[in-house]
Structures are given as C-alpha cells and as structure tokens.
Amino acid sequence: MERFGASIYSRELRAALRDSQLFSNVRDLEMFKTPPDLIARVERPIWGTATIPVATALSLGLVPTTVQEEHGISFSLSSGSLRSGDRVPVEFSYSGPSTLGWYCLALNLSPNRTGRDVRTHRRYREGFAWALAQKRPEILRLLKESAD
C-alpha cells in the first residue's frame, strides 16, 4: 500500500485490510521486491469531530455532550502492474453520534453502541469487508491486469 501524508490514515487502512481477512498479504509498497498484485491508497482522510465539551467538563460529566462524527475509510485499489492506471474506489463511511459524559455509560449498554474505538467493533470490520466485497468484479479485473 502507498503511504499517505499523515501516517495515521495509512496505519488505519493497513489494519482494516488485514482485519478483513480478504488479502493474503498487506504491507507497505516499499517492502515489496517485485510489484504486488494490488496497491491500496488512501483517497480521503476521515476523522472525528473536534469538540470542547465545556458543559460536560464543568458538570463533571453530568451534562452530556453529543456530536455527530464520520467514521470509515476512503481508499482505492489499483493494479500493481505499471501498465494500468485504473483505480477501483472503495468508500466505507458512515456518521453517528458520539456522547461524552456519564450518560454514555447507559447508552453503551445497547448492542448498537460501543464505548471503545469503533474501528475495533465487529460491525465496523464487517461493514468494511462488505464494502470491499461489493467491489469484487472490479477488483478481479485489476488482478487479471496484474497477472497479464
């Protein structure tokens, strides 16, 4: 995979590709002696919402702060062959609420919520793998180009 300017996005993509268990080998492009079959590249950084929870902090967590945040990964796959410039875009992103304060403890009892990093949640990983699976025909075309 190509390195992105801000290395955190490359690390997140590398981890997501490995966790998907759809690829036999996921490494940085520089580590390959021969061109890999596919090259992954971050296309758009996705990050959470920066907020200063003043009311939550002043109330020692009694007044919750909720913000909408986008999570996911936007990247593309291309053939390792230098002959092809085709890219398959893969967009896996969604928005959801993040709540700070004591109230989040009750919210996180729901199976649809998590108090941990969303990227470690089973549903996030499955959603990412599904976004890749939906691109199967295009990815197979890239693999064929690599093999030719």
pLDDT tens readout for residues 104-140: 999 999 988 888 888 888 899 999 999 999 999 999 9
Confidence of residue 145 (pLDDT cuts 50, 70, 90): confident
pLDDT of residue 69: 93
Exposed/middle/buried for residue 77 (C-beta within 10 Å: 0-12, 13-18, 19+): buried
Is residue 144 predicted with pLDDT exceeding 90?
Answer: no
pLDDT tens readout for residues 78-102: 988 766 678 999 999 999 899 999 9
Give, rounded to a whole angstrom, the gap between the first and last alpha carbons of the chain. Answer: 21
**Domain parsing of the chain, residue ranges:** 7-147
